[in-house]
Homo-oligomer: A and B are copies of this chain.
Amino acid sequence: MPQLRKDPVLGRWVIISTERAKRPSDFSAPEQGQRSEPDRCPFCPGNEKMTPPEVTRRPLDGDWRVRVVPNKFPALTVEGGTERAGAGIYDRMNGVGAHEVIIETPEHDRMLADLAPPAIAEVLEVFRARALDLARDERIRYVLVFKNHGLSAGASLSHSHSQLIATPVVPVRVKAELEGAAKYFDFRGRCIFCDMVKQETEERVRLVYENERFVCFEPFAPRFPFETWLLPRAHFSGYDGLSDGHLADLAEALHECLVRMNRALSCPDYNFLVHVAPLVGDGNEHYHFHIELMPKLTRIAGFEVGSGFYINPVPPEEAARFLREA
């Protein structure tokens, strides 16, 4: 069973996945290519037996358009309690949680950016359904939905998919965002993300795209070149605030951002993450639902890992201009 271990200085939890444990020689093998053939692809229709038993699908009957399966090599597993234990000065707990794969389309060579907004909305609806379903398990404290697209962004299979990991602790990065947002709320009585939406839609220099319910912009202090954030104009903090109208507008906004990114940057590998307030506890007033989209253009080197400081060679105002004009 995987173990969660806590860094005693930083309070950051690390997943030590014993089931996928590797030997040193596993690392010297050349990296696996990402292109797979449809007949051997576990995510293609007809090969459903190659995945663990299905969690859900859309539509529920007949041929599927979106399919959710447990990850075959899960970082966390559903069995077991969340007992914590000490080991001298250290702390650990069982690696309880869930790790699921959302197959976004039955078509092997279709990328998320190639899907029409209504098909993207169906994928987003599945994110919402899975997050709200997992939230009913009281061992789960957070559900992180993310996508790795392309080998350099961490995808090991080319058939378009996203993932979710449900964790028994709130991830340190989310916790830091929650604390920062709470501090601002205490001081100003307003949500910092709402203030960002206001400033970005007024100044417009970092704006990439907007529609009725969503605003897409390059953040003021982006870690990565062409990092883009998608925020709802009106305040809500979790999946339960994401109405069907929001889904439609978010799908359109995500499609627009992906297509512009692909045009401006020749279809780069990328990651995106959905940040929501934790499933338990408050955060509804000061935390704001958002998606962070990051093309993989630079390497994270020693300085970044060691300092948490990022060096970004593209001012967000210029990146936004390129994306607006793409």
Contact = CB atoms under 8 A, between A and B. Distances in A.
Interface of A: 3, 5-18, 20-24, 27-28, 75, 87-90, 144, 146-148, 152-155, 163, 165, 167, 171-174, 176-177, 180-181, 184, 192-193, 195-196, 199, 203, 219-223, 225-226, 264-266, 268, 271-273, 275, 292, 294-295, 297, 299-303, 305-316, 318, 322
Nearest to A12: B308
Contacts of A309: 12-15, 144, 165, 167, 171-173
B18 A173 contact: no
A184 B90 CA distance: 12
Contact of A275 (B3, B173, B306): B306
Contacts of A310: 12, 14-15
A19 B163 CA distance: 38
A316 B16 CA distance: 9
Contacts of A13: 221, 309
B311 A15 contact: yes
Nearest to A322: B24
Given A180-B9, A180-B11, A308-B12, A297 B27 contact: yes
A301 B153 contact: yes
A24 B23 CA distance: 39
B303 A144 contact: yes
A89 B181 CA distance: 13
Contacts of A299: 152-154
Contacts of A87: 220
A-side interface mostly: mixed
B90 A220 contact: yes
B181 A9 contact: yes
A58 to B, nearest CB: 22
A177 B17 contact: no
Nearest to A292: B306
7 contacts: A9-B184, A9-B192, A15-B311, A16-B316, A17-B313, A22-B313, A24-B264
- Name, among A9, A222, A301, A316, the residue most crowded by chain B CB atoms within 10 Å (CB to CB): A9
A184 to B, nearest CB: 7
B89 A303 contact: no
Nearest to A223: B14
A297 B23 CA distance: 12
A8 B222 CA distance: 11
A10 B318 contact: no
Contacts of A184: 8-9
A199 B5 CA distance: 16
Contacts of A308: 12, 171-174, 176
Contacts of A314: 16, 21-22
